[in-house]
Amino acid sequence: TSLHLRRKWKQERKDMEFPIRRFHLNRLQLTELLNKLPEIERLGLMTQDELPDLVSLKLFADGSFGSYTAKVSKPYSGDQGRGIFYDTIKEMNQAMRLAAEHGIFSVAMHGIGDSGIHRAIGTARHWIKLGDTMKFDPHFRIEHFELPLPFEKTLKDVKNIGIWVTPQPNFLLDYIYEDRLGERIRWICPHREIVNAGIPMMFGTDGMPSSMLFAIYLATHAEHTHQRLTFKDALLASTLTVSHFESDLRGALKEGYKADIIVADPKLIRELADGDADVRSYEQGDTANQKVAELESTIQRVYKNGVEVYHRES
């Protein structure tokens, strides 16, 4: 379906379209894609040369806190075990070899629990070292990076190896999992510690909610100082850092860059700016969705590639 959406965009070339720019595929999906690549090329959906720019490898070190499957070093409360490793080391290495054979250098690794994150770090360390002999230069990022304990050692390893991280500030609302994590809940999403360690960090939304504005708000109003960012840092993680990882000319108002711009009422900056901790005030019902609506209502215009694609009627 995503490939057909891409073909539709290539055919129509509408300025207001926001095309899918990259597919993140696991080992089995990537194998299936490569087997069908001749047919995909015939349909005009993707060529072999476009593969490295359009496809990333997705690895799964562990599961999630919600299902008690994020891999943690200390057991969950209530005798619920320590979670699971999802991809085995053998499966990760098979997937990495497949990516290397086809020049796919972008690798996103799902890691949430501290043990899951450590496995992701070990995989990156192994393949970056191996890549020197294979003439393969993989670019690693850890998706979620929710509980990187112990801070000092974990962040030092990530920095030294050259891994990027992609946390989602909406996970700051995961204090609802205090029943399974106990005191560890205070240490999820340590955005400030990540920035202080000099690790390149780019934000995502994970679709919960789908608004980057709300993600920025959570990051600037997080409960604990080791989580809370300045507005400038949160904005950088949502714009320039992403552009740098993708080597894309986006995220800055400079000649030659793709002019994707929003124009908003000054109220938006005031709402997103550094503030007191109040994330837990969203504990009840639809308050979070209400905040998203309030933030989005301040947007007056949206430009895509320098062309106005949205204008709010006054």
**Is the pLDDT higher at 134 or at 282?**
134
pLDDT band (50, 70, 90) for residue 8: low
Nearest 5°: CA angle at 266, between 260 and 267?
Answer: 115
Q: Which residues lie below 8 Å from residue 18, measured CB to CB, with a gap of 6+?
A: 304
* pLDDT tens column, 182-217: 999 999 999 999 999 999 999 988 876 677 888 888
What confidence score (pLDDT) does residue 4 get? 55
What confidence score (pLDDT) does residue 281 get? 52
User: Which residue bears the tokens 């060529």?
Assistant: 47
Residue 288 scores a pLDDT above 80: no
What confidence score (pLDDT) does residue 30 get? 96
**Is the pLDDT higher at 176 or at 26?**
26
Is the Cβ–Cβ distance between 83 and 67 less than 8 Å? no
Rg of the chain in Å (alpha carbons):
20
Q: Which of 9-18, 143-152, 212-221, 270-279 has the lowest mean pLDDT?
A: 9-18
**φ and ψ at 88, to 5 degrees?**
-75, 165
What confidence score (pLDDT) does residue 174 get? 81
Residue 1 scores a pLDDT above 70: no
Per DSSP, the three-state class of 93 is helix
Q: Would you call the peptide bond into 209 cis, given omega within 30 degrees of 0 as the criterion?
A: yes
What confidence score (pLDDT) does residue 70 get? 98
Nearest residue to 195 via CA among 223, 134, 224, 236: 236
173: tokens are 């609302």
What confidence score (pLDDT) does residue 280 get? 59
* pLDDT tens column, 227-274: 999 999 999 998 888 877 877 777 777 888 888 888 999 888 888 886
Residue 50 scores a pLDDT above 60: yes
What confidence score (pLDDT) does residue 292 get? 74
- Average pLDDT of span 20-29: 89
Per DSSP, the three-state class of 263 is strand
- Average pLDDT of span 162-174: 91
pTM score, whole prediction: 0.87
What is the DSSP-derived secondary structure letter of residue 254? -
228: tokens are 């809370």
- Average pLDDT of span 48-61: 94
- List Cα–Cα distances, 201 to 17, 25, 196, 241, in angstroms: 27, 22, 11, 7
**Which ranges of the chain does DSSP label H, i.e. alpha helix?**
2-12, 27-35, 37-42, 51-54, 89-101, 114-134, 151-161, 178-181, 191-196, 212-220, 231-238, 240-246, 267-272, 287-296
pLDDT band (50, 70, 90) for residue 284: very low
**φ and ψ at 303, to 5 degrees?**
-115, 135
* pLDDT tens column, 101-139: 999 999 999 999 999 999 999 999 999 999 878 888 999
